[in-house]
Amino acid sequence: MAFELTLPAIISYSAAFLVLAIGSYTDFRTREVPDWVNLGLIGIGFGLNAIFSVIYWKINFILASILGFGAFFALAWVMFYTGQWGGGDSKILMGLGAIIGIDVISKNFFLFGFLANALLAGALYGLFWSFYSMIRNRKKFLKEFGKIMEKKEAINARSNVLAVFFILILIIMLVQNIFVKIALFYIAIASILTLYLWVAVKSVENSCMLKYVKPMQLTEGDWIAKDIKIGGKYITGPKDLGIEKKNIRKLVEFYKKGKIKKVLIKEGIPFVPSFFIAYLITLMYGDLIFVFI
């Protein structure tokens, strides 16, 4: 077990489990996590730990909650503004930080193990989801893959990569050290695979994650794929990192006036389920990195 089994722990970890399960379900179904789930977890986290501090007359409960929230707020802010996570993903992590906390007094570092597991689970989950999207939309994917490979930038990149590949093969034939040969061979293969992996990722994004919706179908935080300008005036676009409610209302009004029909949005991968998986792994096994070591 990755934590001390006390009554406060049972209550806090059970509440986090329930909210992550609900968030995973809604993220799968609607590609968003309602604010009542995210903000509710933050409120419950601070509220429970404040109550525990009063009942047990120990300030470390609320201090751990504040520290956990602050640490995950900083992480979520970076990941959101670098375009890695959506608003729902970021808020649910902040809630998890508030309810579990980082207690330096009792040395409860559950959240550190969770983060390590989340990185591993997120990477595997992202690969699985991308592969699933490729198979599900294989005709559109293959068409987009071919279009990208025919672009001038891709042709130039392919020429450069092939040049590097053949240079490395030539060096491999000339050097005598077997370990150097193996290292250069891996680099040569990796250079080819990296190019095609990049094209595959862009193809998945363009063919499987972009779709047109009517303005009234938009929800706060949706990622707009193209700049929207009405009468030459900028309304919203990719640089906004998620559309706001006031801009949704504007677009709905423009739709009613016939000035806009549909909006191109980018659907992200529903990442909350990967957090849920990482949470379960951490509860059962702790930090997998230490387990493997």
Euclidean distance between CA atoms 62 and 65, whole angstroms: 5
Q: Which two tokens stand for residue 257?
A: 């006036």
Res 2: pLDDT:
47
Task: Using the predicted structure, report yes or no on whether residue 293 has a pLDDT greater than 70.
Answer: no
Contact 101, 108 (CB under 8 A): yes
Q: Considering just the CA atoms, what is the radius of gyration of the chain in Å?
A: 24
Task: Using the predicted structure, report yes or no on whether residue 201 has a pLDDT greater than 50.
Answer: yes
Q: What is the mean pLDDT of residues 138-150?
A: 88
Res 292: pLDDT:
56
Q: Residue 9: which pLDDT band, with cuts at 50, 70 and 90?
A: confident
More confident residue, 34 or 23: 23
Q: Identify the H or E element spanning 236.
A: strand 233-236
Q: Residue 16: which pLDDT band, with cuts at 50, 70 and 90?
A: very high
Q: Which two tokens stand for residue 19?
A: 């909210």
Average pLDDT, the chain: 84
Instruction: Enumerate residues 6+ apart whose C-beta is below 8 A from 5.
Output: none
Q: Residue 27: which pLDDT band, with cuts at 50, 70 and 90?
A: confident
Most confident among 11-20, 145-154, 186-195 (mean pLDDT): 11-20
Res 12: pLDDT:
92
Q: Residue 248: which pLDDT band, with cuts at 50, 70 and 90?
A: confident
* Residue where the block lists tokens 């559950």: 110
Name all contacts of 50-59 with Cβ < 8 Å and 24+ positions apart.
52/8, 56/8
Task: Using the predicted structure, report yes or no on whether residue 167 has a pLDDT greater than 60.
Answer: yes
Q: What is the mean pLDDT of residues 83-96?
A: 78
* pLDDT per position as a tens digit, 62-74: 999 999 999 999 9
Task: Using the predicted structure, report yes or no on whether residue 177 has a pLDDT greater than 60.
Answer: yes
* pLDDT per position as a tens digit, 205-245: 777 777 888 888 887 777 788 888 888 888 888 777 677 78
- What are the φ and ψ backbone dihedral angles of 106, each rounded to 5 degrees? -90, 5
Contact 68, 114 (CB under 8 A): no
Res 48: pLDDT:
94
Q: What is the mean pLDDT of residues 181-203?
A: 83
Has this prediction a pTM greater than 0.85? no
Q: Give the CA dihedral 118, 269, 94, 32, nearest 10 degrees.
A: -150
Res 82: pLDDT:
66
Q: What is the mean pLDDT of residues 265-269?
A: 76
Res 85: pLDDT:
67
Q: What is the mean pLDDT of residues 283-287?
A: 81
